Amino acid sequence: MADYDNTGFGTQYSDKSFWDTLKAYALAAGRDVIEKALILYYTARSPATPAWAKAAIYAALGYFVSLIDAIPDLTPIIGYADDLGVLVAAIATVASTITPEIREQAAQKLQEWFETPPAS
């Protein structure tokens, strides 16, 4: 992975830091940011994803989980704008490796977190 990641953010990534960040900031980050992060996460986990794509994904997810951001995540309203930009750029870079099954897997997880159950 180091051969492809010249940002250094790939070293910030771990599965634990990813899930901890999602759980802690899902509502603050918003549905769009979390959707992109999940798509990238599941793409990286796919055995069919090539090493160059995984390196790009881990760099983007490393930026997402990093405490060092261009715009601090605690900044109201725009705090996750830079994260979204990085995630969208990574998705554009690896788009050919994202399958419909990966998008469905991300959509299911997103629905678990953001959809409210029907009132009884």
Q: Could you list the residue range(s) of the whole structural domain that residue 35 is in?
A: 9-114
Decide if 44 contacts 61 (C-beta within 8 A).
yes
Residue 56 falls inside a structural domain: yes
Radius of gyration for the alpha carbons in the chain, expressed in angstroms and rounded: 14
Cα angle value 100/104/108 (rounded, 5°): 175
Q: Count structural domains, the chain.
A: 1
Residue 119 falls inside a structural domain: no
pTM of the model as a whole = 0.75
120 residues of the chain, pLDDT tens digit each = 444 454 556 566 788 878 887 777 777 778 888 899 999 999 999 999 999 999 999 999 988 887 666 555 555 456 678 888 999 999 999 999 999 999 999 999 988 877 755 455
Residue 91 falls inside a structural domain: yes
